[in-house]
């Protein structure tokens, strides 16, 4: 079945693209390459990561991932902190930038909350949706690139990256395999529910192959004049 055309959902001039998926899919790698390519095309682009992206958000990120005191964090606290970081990012930078007509690339956004806190931590999906609504209002991505790799590929990429980095404890990465399987199902459900916004990309190939697949989806949007 052919893919449906992308439809721009927000009323502002800019373009809002998010990258999603399980760990090691290459989101950060592809986000950086996409920013470079869009700048080459003359677009004004800003890139952010979640949780984080603002000074307040980066403090929340540390609490969520690395704080020594966070071992007892409940799933509900995790949900609220993710969305506190997001509420700040949306109001402090994303909305003003979109209103100026800029392109925003975000390395994870609210689909991560649905996948990790909703499906992974098994919080009530309706409650998760309501919290996300508070955080983002009508600031929604125009396009979400869901980078998909099988669990073995993800594990291998993270192993080889870890070998080159000092060990830093990451509370979320400590979850068990069943948690990450549920996260994957969550992403499948999101993609099935919103095919117009969410484009699944096979991210098992080389960096260059994935970059080409990403560009095939993004270029038509940019060519039609979205983003200053």
Q: Which residues bind ligand Z5A (CB under 6 A)?
A: 23-29, 49-51, 82, 108, 112-113, 116-117, 157, 161, 172-173, 206-207, 210
The two tokens of residue 10 are: 């927000």
- If the CB atoms of residues 14 and 25 are measured against ligand Z5A, the closer one turns out to be 25
- If the CB atoms of residues 18 and 226 are measured against ligand Z5A, the closer one turns out to be 18
3-class secondary structure, 187: helix
Nearest to 14 by CA among 119, 114, 142: 142
- Report yes or no: 83 and 57 within 8 Å, Cβ to Cβ: no
CA 115, CA 128: separation in Å to the nearest integer? Answer: 10
Report in angstroms how near the CB of residue 194 gets to ligand Z5A at its nearest: 17
The order of strands in the sheet holding 103-107 is: 45-49, 103-107, 15-20, 143-148, 198-202
Report in angstroms how near the CB of residue 101 gets to ligand Z5A at its nearest: 25
Report in angstroms how near the CB of residue 19 gets to ligand Z5A at its nearest: 8
3-class secondary structure, 218: helix
- If the CB atoms of residues 190 and 226 are measured against ligand Z5A, the closer one turns out to be 190
Element (H, E) at 88: helix 75-89
Report in angstroms how near the CB of residue 127 gets to ligand Z5A at its nearest: 14
Element (H, E) at 105: strand 103-107
CA 222, CA 228: separation in Å to the nearest integer? Answer: 9
- If the CB atoms of residues 108 and 200 are measured against ligand Z5A, the closer one turns out to be 108
Report in angstroms how near the CB of residue 93 gets to ligand Z5A at its nearest: 15
- If the CB atoms of residues 26 and 227 are measured against ligand Z5A, the closer one turns out to be 26
The two tokens of residue 124 are: 């009530």
- If the CB atoms of residues 128 and 226 are measured against ligand Z5A, the closer one turns out to be 128
Report in angstroms how near the CB of residue 164 gets to ligand Z5A at its nearest: 8
């Amino acid at each position: 079945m052919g893919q449906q055309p992308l439809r721009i959902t927000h009323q502002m001039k800019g373009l809002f693209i998010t990258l999603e998926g399980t760990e090691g899919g290459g989101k950060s790698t592809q986000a950086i390459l996409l920013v470079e390519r869009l700048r080459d095309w003359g677009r004004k682009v800003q890139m952010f990561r979640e949780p984080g992206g603002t000074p307040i958000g980066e403090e929340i990120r540390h609490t969520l991932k690395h704080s020594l005191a966070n071992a007892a964090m409940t799933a509900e606290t995790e949900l609220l902190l993710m969305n506190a970081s997001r509420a700040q990012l949306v109001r402090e930078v994303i909305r003003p930038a979109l209103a100026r007509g800029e392109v925003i690339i975000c390395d994870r956004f609210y689909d991560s909350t649905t996948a990790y806190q909703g499906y992974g931590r098994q919080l009530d999906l309706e409650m998760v949706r309501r919290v996300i609504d508070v955080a983002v209002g009508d600031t929604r991505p125009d396009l979400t690139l869901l980078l998909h790799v099988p669990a073995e590929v993800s594990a291998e990429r993270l192993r080889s990256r870890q070998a080159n980095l000092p060990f830093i404890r990451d509370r979320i990465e400590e979850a068990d395999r069943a948690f990450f399987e549920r996260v994957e199902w969550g992403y499948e459900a999101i993609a099935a529910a919103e095919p117009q916004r969410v484009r699944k990309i096979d991210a098992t190939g080389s960096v260059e192959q994935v970059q080409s697949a990403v560009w095939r989806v993004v270029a038509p949007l940019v060519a039609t004049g979205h983003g200053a």
